[in-house]
Amino acid sequence: MKKRIFVTATNTDVGKTYTTKLLLKEFASRGLLVGVIKPIETGVVNDFAPDGEELLECVKQLNHKLWSMEVDDIVPITYALAAAPFVASNNTPLDLKKINRTIEEMEASCDIVIIEGAGGLYVPIDANTMMIDLITELKAVALLVTHCSLGCINDTLLSKKALSDRNIPHAVAFNCRENDASFKTISEPYFLKTNQTILKVDDDIVKICDVLYNL
């Protein structure tokens, strides 16, 4: 099995796809053949998967072995309703075999696979499965992408605890945006004073990749 990194977040719209693309580019710059999977995408209308298409375009530019792939090859499960998979699928049982098969086919053409989750860790997939369960099932390490706005201390600590309680090796990356100028005075002091490492997506992608590769 190749190296698998699962990109999750404290919530939806925190920057998973943006971060995943940066990871792909950095690992590719090191001479690694990269691959990407988004196991489940909701909000797919008329067979157009926005995140999947964006990831596919990126990875095809980085790994020549994937030039013939289509979006179905990296997004095996899609639903039209933009909601948690449990709701979007009307509680259809997760087809884990289909996801595993998609990842294994991808791994035949790459050294490392980035797996992008949907929403946060406790997004329900079906009656028995949360997104965090998928990380364990796929035997991946995790990157928790968190935001830098007010409330990030609580959101980050809750998600870190969830990963630690499951013994999932993980790193944390802060995705600070232009309107997050208050982070330095409102939230960052807590993380610094409690000796927690602060890695920022835009500034520290090299360090983030180093940490993830060695987990």
The catalytic residue positions are 38
Q: How far is CA 69 from the centre of its chain?
A: 20
Tokens of 11: 């919530």
Distance between CA atoms of residues 189 and 184, nearest Å: 7
Cβ(141)–Cβ(206) below 8 Å: no
Closest CA to 170 of 156, 181, 150: 156
The backbone region for 91, taken as left when phi is positive above 0, alpha when psi lies in -120 to 50, beta otherwise, is: left
Q: How far apart are CA 117 and CA 100, in angstroms?
A: 14
Beta partners for 174?
146, 200
* Spatial distance between the Cα atoms of 141 and 168, rounded to a whole number of angstroms: 6
Terminal-to-terminal C-alpha distance of the chain: 15
Tell the residue number behind the tokens 């180093």, with chain if given. 210
